[in-house]
Amino acid sequence: MGAQLKKGVLDLVVLSKICERDTYGYDIYQEINRNLGISESTIYPILRKFTKEGLCETYLRESSGGPPRKYFKITRKGENRLDDLKVDWRRFEKVVNILIRGDRYE
């Protein structure tokens, strides 16, 4: 999958992962990387942006294998943004499918 295509959907994917459960950056990276093949450095700027915009909050949780980890938890504002991104994605997906299949747009 092309880098620009991945970049265009990462906000949606990362916010979706945080919405599923409170989680930390490396865990998000691993799950997305298994499916999309991204670099670890891609995730952290997105998480900082989300925190700055109030889409998620952070807290520290003890780790059994090292220092405490910074966990990300979605906020109500983040849930609203995620809902908007999902609507945008579904519209985009529908239009692209129509265009590549040659279907009529309804």
What are the pLDDT digits (tens) for 36-63?
A: 989 889 999 999 999 999 999 999 999 8
When the pLDDT of each residue in the chain is averaged and rounded to a whole number, the result is 91
- Catalogue all structural domains in the chain, each as residue range(s) with its CATH number: 3-101 (1.10.10.10)
User: Is the model's pLDDT at 104 over the cut of 70?
Assistant: no
Report which of 21, 26, 55, 59 is spatially closest to residue 42, judged by C-alpha positions.
26
Tell me 41's DSSP state. Answer: G
Q: Taking the chain, what is the end-to-end CA distance rounded to the nearest angstrom?
A: 28
Q: Which residues contact 24 (CB under 8 A, 6 or more apart)?
A: 61, 69, 70, 71, 72
Return the pLDDT at 16.
97
Residue, of 102 and 46, whose pLDDT is higher = 46
d(CA 48, CA 15): 12
Q: pTM score, two decimals?
A: 0.86
Return the pLDDT at 101.
86
